[in-house]
């Protein structure tokens, strides 16, 4: 059996994604990076302001609600507008943080200073004490709207403002969660989703989710891993996610089954903040370990990268506070020769943010998570169908986020007050 880690690198290189950093993901075979180099990579400016010669004073940042949908509208004093969906599921209870603590900070500031504003809001009135997705989702939601505003003003897609466009199309995978079903039932549903999307990669869930080694139902994972490979064949790329199910010894045992099935990455083998245990698992196995979707600290990402705790970092564009902070993680990962494949939350327009991240970040890895176009949010896009065709989604290339909200939907929304 070819080493999964080597295989993953091969497919990554095949996609031309990490061409500048060949070699195994194991640290001894990657470019030697110091803490200082990682810090330097993270500190480089992200937002390019060359297309925006004059100050863009922020006049208002509003949270709007239409039915279950919550979105942010930012306007400049000159009347430019940006609109972005939030993470509906979380914002339904986090809205006071956005309205009371986040939005007011941005008023009167120059949106071109967004890098500094994202750092500023973190320390403003001791907001750092709230750090976690409860704080960063509101920040991310405002950042997305401001980037849409700036992109609209510049007449350029957000990827152009965030470093420059490196690709127009993204190969995607669908994540499957069939915990509670038998291995046989699960694999049938996984095969169905692969057939529907035409994707050449798929992720499946193993273990019981933060379950201290308990499976759901018992024995499912050991049966499922070889079965998925057998049923889907040798050509498809498989990813497995345990959602922090195991302690280190059990995670290693399960990891060996994943290696035998040539699974290309193993996500959150241990609870997300069990960093020492995750590192032990990474050291014992050859399969690349992926993690970081719950992470809220840039410094802990630096630790995870520098200590070879994970070989694929997965910041979430909502949970980690938006594009600028996630790009800082991606740049540290690039420095260390590993991919940054974002986790995708926010089933509403989460995929749209993933697409724009992929548009401008070189080291995203071969496949990105895609949950399908959301039917309940009335957006149109004239540069992409926003749907997967043969496992590939075209990235919108119009100004800002590249989508237009139905004006009626926006007009009928109510401003949310905290």
Kindly tell me which of 194 and 344 has the beta carbon lying closer to Mg ion: 344
Residue 190 CB, nearest approach to Mg ion (Å) = 16
Burial tier of 262 (Cβ tally within 10 Å: 0-12, 13-18, 19+): middle
- In angstroms, rounded to a whole number, what is the distance separating the alpha carbons of residues 253 and 407? 54
Residue 314 CB, nearest approach to Mg ion (Å) = 7
Per-position x/- string for 70-99, each x denoting binding to Mg ion as judged by CB under 5 A, each - no binding: ------------------------------
Footprint of Mg ion on 249-268 (CB under 5 A): 267
Residue 241 CB, nearest approach to Mg ion (Å) = 4
Residue nearest to Mg ion (CB): 241
- Residue 295 in the binding site for Mg ion (CB under 5 A): no
- In angstroms, rounded to a whole number, what is the distance separating the alpha carbons of residues 402 and 394? 12
Per-position x/- string for 192-231, each x denoting binding to Mg ion as judged by CB under 5 A, each - no binding: ----------------------------------------
Kindly tell me which of 267 and 295 has the beta carbon lying closer to Mg ion: 267
Q: Which of 165, 192, 85, 158 shows the shortest CA–CA distance to 399?
A: 158
What DSSP line would sit under 86-152, residue for residue? Answer: --HHHHHHHHHIIIIIIHHHHTTSBGGGHHHHHHHHHHGGGGGGGTTHHHHHHHHHHHHHHHHHHHH
Kindly tell me which of 148 and 295 has the beta carbon lying closer to Mg ion: 295
Do 200 and 391 form a contact (C-beta atoms < 8 A)? yes
Kindly tell me which of 200 and 205 has the beta carbon lying closer to Mg ion: 205
The residue assigned the tokens 């237009």 is: 404
Residue 210 CB, nearest approach to Mg ion (Å) = 11
Kindly tell me which of 215 and 267 has the beta carbon lying closer to Mg ion: 267
Kindly tell me which of 111 and 340 has the beta carbon lying closer to Mg ion: 340
| Part in contact with Mg ion (CB under 5 A); list of ranges 84-92, 116-124, 237-245, 351-359 | 237-245
Footprint of Mg ion on 264-293 (CB under 5 A): 267
Torsion of CA 178, 134, 109, 119, to 10 degrees: -90
Secondary structure of 160-203 as H, E, C letters = HHCCCCCCCEEEEEEEECCCCCCHHHHHHHHHHHHHHHCCCEEE
Q: What is the DSSP letter of 18?
A: S
Among 241, 295, 335, 369, binds Mg ion (CB under 5 A): 241
Q: Which of 114, 88, 42, 10 shows the shortest CA–CA distance to 346?
A: 88
| Part in contact with Mg ion (CB under 5 A); list of ranges 65-73, 234-242, 296-304, 366-374 | 234-242
- In angstroms, rounded to a whole number, what is the distance separating the alpha carbons of residues 75 and 107? 10
Q: What is the DSSP letter of 27?
A: G
Q: Which of 317, 306, 272 shows the shortest CA–CA distance to 292?
A: 272
Kindly tell me which of 143 and 267 has the beta carbon lying closer to Mg ion: 267
Residue 138 CB, nearest approach to Mg ion (Å) = 22
Number of residues that bind Mg ion (CB under 5 A): 2
Residue 207 CB, nearest approach to Mg ion (Å) = 11
Residue 111 CB, nearest approach to Mg ion (Å) = 32
What is the radius of gyration, based on Cα positions, of the chain? 21
Kindly tell me which of 160 and 293 has the beta carbon lying closer to Mg ion: 293
| Part in contact with Mg ion (CB under 5 A); list of ranges 8-16, 97-105, 240-248, 367-375 | 240-248
Q: Which residues bind Mg ion (CB under 5 A)?
A: 241, 267
């Amino acid at each position: 059996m070819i080493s999964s880690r080597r295989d993953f690198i091969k497919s990554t290189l095949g996609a031309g994604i990490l061409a500048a950093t060949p070699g195994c993901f194991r640290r001894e075979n990657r470019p030697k990076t110091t803490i200082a180099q990682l810090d330097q990579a993270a500190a480089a400016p992200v937002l390019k302001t060359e297309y925006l010669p004059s100050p863009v004073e922020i006049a208002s940042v509003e949270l709007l609600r239409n039915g279950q949908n919550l979105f942010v509208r930012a306007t400049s004093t000159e009347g430019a507008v940006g609109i972005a969906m939030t993470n509906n599921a979380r914002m339904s209870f986090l809205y006071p943080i956005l309205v009371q603590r986040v939005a007011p900070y941005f008023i009167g500031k120059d949106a071109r200073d967004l890098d500094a504003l994202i750092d500023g809001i973190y320390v403003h009135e001791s907001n750092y004490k709230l750090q976690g997705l409860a704080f960063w989702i509101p920040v991310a939601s405002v950042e997305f709207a401001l980037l849409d505003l700036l992109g609209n003003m510049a007449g350029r897609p957000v990827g152009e403002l965030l470093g420059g466009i490196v690709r127009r199309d993204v190969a995607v995978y669908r994540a499957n969660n069939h915990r509670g079903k038998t291995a046989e039932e699960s694999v049938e549903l996984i095969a169905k989703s692969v057939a529907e999307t035409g994707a050449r990669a798929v992720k499946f869930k193993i273990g019981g989710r933060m379950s201290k080694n308990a499976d759901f139902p018992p024995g499912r994972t050991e049966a499922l891993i070889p079965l998925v490979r057998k049923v889907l064949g040798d050509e498809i790329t498989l990813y497995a996610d345990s959602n922090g199910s195991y302690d280190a010894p059990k995670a290693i045992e399960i990891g060996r089954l994943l290696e035998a099935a040539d699974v290309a990455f193993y996500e959150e083998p241990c609870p997300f903040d069990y960093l020492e245990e995750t590192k032990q698992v990474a050291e014992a196995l050859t399969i690349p370990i992926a993690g970081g979707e719950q992470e809220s600290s840039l410094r802990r990402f630096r630790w995870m990268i520098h200590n070879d705790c994970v070989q694929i970092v997965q910041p979430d564009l909502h949970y980690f506070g938006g594009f600028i902070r996630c790009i800082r993680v991606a740049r540290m990962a690039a420095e260390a020769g590993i991919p940054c494949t974002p986790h995708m939350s926010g089933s509403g327009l989460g995929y749209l943010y993933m697409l724009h991240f992929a548009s401008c970040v070189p080291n995203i890895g071969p496949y990105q998570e895609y949950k399908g176009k959301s039917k309940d949010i009335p957006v149109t896009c004239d540069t992409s169908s926003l749907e997967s065709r043969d496992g590939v989604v075209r990235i919108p290339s119009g100004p800002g986020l590249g989508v237009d909200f139905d004006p009626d939907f926006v007009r009928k929304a109510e401003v949310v007050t905290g």
